[in-house]
Structure 1
C-alpha cells in the first residue's frame, strides 16, 4: 500500500531483483499492535506494509523460543539472498540490554531475527514466525533492494 507524498521507482530485468531508485529509507518503524511496517525518508512516509509477527506477539522478546518479536531500537545488520524464507534482512537483536536482561534471568536471549518472506505453507496464517517480521515474497522482492545495512529499525508495541 503506497502512502505519503514521496514517489519512488523500482526497475528490474527479467529474473533479477528490482533496483531501487527512490529516496533513501532512513528509518523503518514496526507498529506491532497495528501489524504494520513503515519505511520513512527522514519524516516522510515512503511505503507501508502489512506484516505477520512472532506466534506470541505481545511483549518484548526476552529469550530463545518465546515466539515474541523484539521491541526497541536496532539496525539492519545483514542480508541473506538465500534465506529459507525467500529473502531476508537481519535485525541486530540481541543488543547489549537484551543480553544483560537474559543473563540476569539465566536464559539465552535468542537471535536470528529477520524481516523475511513467507513460505507457501504459512501464507494466510497470522503471526506464525518465531519472532521475525514477515511480508509476502512479492513484497520482500520490493523491500530487499530498498534497505541498506545500517538502516535504523524501531519496533514498537
Structure 2
C-alpha cells in the first residue's frame, strides 16, 4: 500500500513538474550586440561587441550558395540586416525575423522581374526531434529547438545581423 501511494505521488510530481517547463528562458548575461553568420562554415555567432558569447551549428536554405535574389530560390540572404520581429508561436517552434528584403534586395529582384521573397527567420524545428538533414529551409537559418530557446532569450529586436558567404 505504501509503495502504491509513493508511486502515485511520484507520478503526480513528475507530471506537475513537466507542466512548469517553458520554452521562454530568462537571460541575464551580457547584451548580444551583433549576430554574425558564416554560411560556408554553417556557423552563427552571438557577439557582445567583439567577444563571442555563443556559437551554433546551423542549417540554411536548400540552395545555400550565393545571395538570395528572388522568392523561392532556396537561398539564405547575404549582407547586413537587423532582427525586426519575434514570433513566439512560429510554425518552427520560436523564431526571430531578419529584415530581408531591404531596398537594394527589392530593386535587384524587380530588375529580374521577380518578387524578392521574404519571411526569413532564425528558427527551430517544426517538431522537437526533427532531423531533416543539412540545408533544408527555404532560406532561413535553423538551429535545434533547445538552442532556439537560448537564442530567443538572448536576442532583442534591433540587433544587427551580418550574413557572409
User: Structure 1-normalised TM-score?
Assistant: 0.89
- Structure with bigger gyration radius: 2
Give per-residue Cα distances to partners, 1:6-40, cap 9 Å, x unaligned.
Answer: xxxxxxx9323110000000000000000000010
Q: Give the distance between the partners of 1:51 and 1:99, measured in 2 at CA.
A: 26
What does 1:3-152 align with in structure 2 at a 5 Å threshold?
14-16=20-22, 17-120=24-127, 122-152=130-160
Secondary structure of 1:139's match?
Answer: helix
Instruction: Decide which structure has greater helix share.
Output: 2
Secondary structure of 1:59's match?
Answer: coil
Aligned Cα root-mean-square deviation (Å): 1.3
Q: Give the distance between the partners of 1:67 and 1:124, measured in 2 at CA.
A: 15
* Runs of 4+ residues over 6 Å off in structure 1: none
Q: Give the structure 1 partner of residue 9 of structure 2.
A: none
Cα deviation for residue 124 of structure 1 reads 4.5
Q: Which runs of 5+ in 2 are unaligned?
A: 1-18
Secondary structure of 1:53's match?
Answer: coil
Cα deviation for residue 110 of structure 1 reads 0.2
In the alignment, is the contact (CA less than 8 A) between 1:122 and 1:128 conserved in 2?
no
